[in-house]
């Protein structure tokens, strides 16, 4: 194996990035990367930046941020400090919450043609593999960390992933580098620390080549996952609708194992954390195959799996805005709650629904609501009045979206439902109702 800097330089040279952003915690791994990046910057015409995320979880956090800025100044690489606000999330570990917050802040700096550099190494890869094994992961989880993948609008590179922690510490000592030590790294209540201090030393003492073997297994799992995804794409497309829902009818004849893999591929493409085997089984047996008159739902973190008209949907929960009601005034934009967009009622023709109002209508009596309960309407061109709930069903609007459509009322009589129809009594060409959705 070549020197640390040789590996680092080869990895960066092989990429087509012109801007590198270092995730700079100040620990020995990222401290060494800062030194390597400074050397590389002197040899190549590239733009470099280091980003230190201040989590506020340690009494030493302010000192770490200050020292990182000093090291950046000495290396001629600017250091930006980002402040994370760590909120407690029920059911989530502090490790995961802090990691998600850190990546969200780092992503702000990763634009096109730029690459995030991480100091993860062979020891980290072994720990990641063992943690995936502990969770009972399949090939995707056991593939562990890729040396290079996409991130935000650019890329993510782990240039020293094949080197050990010992390689890194020897480099730091040889170049007389200083770094910060996070006291939480000694806390064996965290699974990764337990593996680092109690398990991997025994493994390497017994099998010195275990790092190489695990790296090879991770790479084979990554290759298998890539092949499976390629073969699954046609299967997924055969059951997926244009709105990203899945046809239950088309899924029905598929073998259970293949159906579970289709679910996982579907959720991955939607950016959802991979479900457990129990969850994929529940998606089918408790949601897809629920009684025809049921309205089943499965929680998957911040997403819900829902069923409507023999299709499965993956949706984010929506806020209840049924009690919200505001006056809609002519030529004044009305901002709707919960990021549901903006309504405009204006004269003349434009994109939207055309309608008319009584010549002397009371502007204070024209309002917007989201509550269809008990309301009836007769859409223009149809015979007879029907409950809004029935009209929504006929129009194929899933139950969880029905209270997200603005209902325009005049003296509590339905004038229109934005995005859907104008009622017979208010159809005309005097005004245009436009719904600009965010």
Q: Give the pLDDT mean for 313-330.
A: 92
pLDDT level of residue 2 (50, 70, 90 thresholds): low
386 & 428 share domain: yes
Is the residue at 144 inside a domain? yes
Question: What are the pLDDT digits (tens) for 279-315?
Answer: 999 999 999 999 988 889 999 888 999 999 999 999 9
Q: Can you name the residues that pair with 313 across neighbouring β-strands?
A: 306
Is the residue at 226 inside a domain? no
Q: Among residues 94, 45, 201, 215, which one has the least CA distance to residue 143?
A: 215
Q: Give the pLDDT mean for 61-70.
A: 95
First to last CA, the chain: 52
Q: In this predicted structure, what is the pLDDT of residue 235?
A: 95
Domain range for residue 294?
A: 240-315
347 versus 50: the higher-pLDDT residue is: 50
Q: In this predicted structure, what is the pLDDT of residue 370?
A: 95
84 & 168 share domain: yes
154 & 94 share domain: yes
9 & 110 share domain: yes
User: Mapping DSSP to helix (H, G, I), strand (E, B) and coil, where does residue 346 land?
Assistant: strand
Residues comprising the binding site? 25-30
Is the residue at 148 inside a domain? yes
Of 315, 342, 377, the residue at which a domain comes to its end is: 315
User: Mapping DSSP to helix (H, G, I), strand (E, B) and coil, where does residue 247 land?
Assistant: strand
CATH of the domain at 310: 1.20.59.20
Q: Measure the CA–CA gap between 418 and 344, rounded to whole angstroms.
A: 10
47 & 130 share domain: yes
371 & 393 share domain: yes
251 & 341 share domain: no
Is the residue at 224 inside a domain? no
Residues comprising the binding site for ATP? 25-30
194 & 259 share domain: no
pTM above 0.75, yes or no: no
DSSP secondary structure of 97-127: HHHHHHHHHHHTT--TTEEEE----HHHHHH
61 & 204 share domain: yes
270 & 414 share domain: no
Question: What are the pLDDT digits (tens) for 399-410?
Answer: 899 999 999 999
287 & 338 share domain: no
Q: How many domains does the chain have?
A: 3
């Amino acid at each position: 194996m070549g020197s640390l800097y040789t590996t680092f330089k080869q990895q960066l040279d092989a990429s087509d990035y012109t801007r590198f952003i270092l995730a700079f915690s100040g620990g020995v791994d990222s401290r060494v990367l800062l030194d390597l990046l400074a050397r590389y910057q002197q040899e190549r015409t590239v733009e470099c930046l280091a980003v230190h995320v201040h989590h506020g979880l340690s009494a030493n956090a302010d000192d770490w941020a200050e020292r990182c800025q000093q090291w950046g100044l000495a290396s001629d690489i600017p250091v930006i400090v980002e402040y994370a606000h760590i909120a407690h999330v029920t059911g989530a570990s502090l490790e995961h919450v802090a990691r998600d917050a850190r990546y969200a802040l780092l992503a702000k700096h990763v634009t096109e043609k730029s690459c995030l550099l991480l100091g993860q190494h062979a020891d980290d890869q072994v720990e990641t593999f063992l943690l995936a094994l502990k969770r009972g992961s399949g090939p995707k989880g056991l593939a562990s960390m890729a040396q290079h993948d996409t991130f935000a609008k650019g890329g993510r590179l782990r240039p020293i992933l094949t080197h050990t922690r010992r390689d890194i510490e020897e480099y730091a000592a040889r170049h007389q580098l200083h770094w910060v030590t996070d006291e939480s790294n000694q806390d064996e209540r965290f699974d990764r620390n337990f593996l680092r201090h109690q398990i991997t030393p025994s493994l390497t003492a017994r099998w010195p080549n275990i790092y190489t073997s695990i790296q090879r297994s991770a790479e084979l799992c990554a290759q298998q996952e890539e092949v499976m995804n390629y073969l699954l794409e046609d299967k997924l497309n055969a059951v997926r609708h244009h709105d990203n829902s899945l046809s239950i009818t088309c899924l029905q004849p598929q073998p259970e194992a293949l159906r579970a893999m289709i679910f996982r591929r579907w959720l991955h493409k939607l950016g959802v954390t991979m479900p457990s085997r129990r969850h994929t089984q529940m998606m089918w047996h408790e949601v897809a195959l629920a009684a025809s008159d049921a309205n089943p739902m499965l929680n998957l973190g911040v997403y819900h799996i829902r069923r409507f008209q023999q299709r499965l949907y993956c949706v984010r929960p929506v806020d209840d805005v049924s009690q919200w009601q505001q006056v809609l005034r002519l030529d004044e934009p009305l901002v709707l709650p919960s990021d549901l967009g903006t309504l405009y009622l204006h004269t003349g023709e434009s994109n939207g629904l055309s309608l008319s109002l009584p010549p002397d209508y009371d502007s204070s009596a024209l309002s917007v609501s989201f509550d269809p309960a008990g309301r009836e309407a007769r859409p223009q061109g149809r015979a007879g009045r029907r409950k809004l709930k029935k009209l929504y069903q006929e129009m194929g609007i899933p139950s969880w979206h029905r209270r997200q459509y603005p209902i325009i009322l005049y003296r509590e009589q339905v004038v229109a439902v934005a995005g859907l129809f104008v009622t017979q009594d208010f159809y005309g060409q005097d005004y245009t109702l436009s719904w600009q959705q965010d």
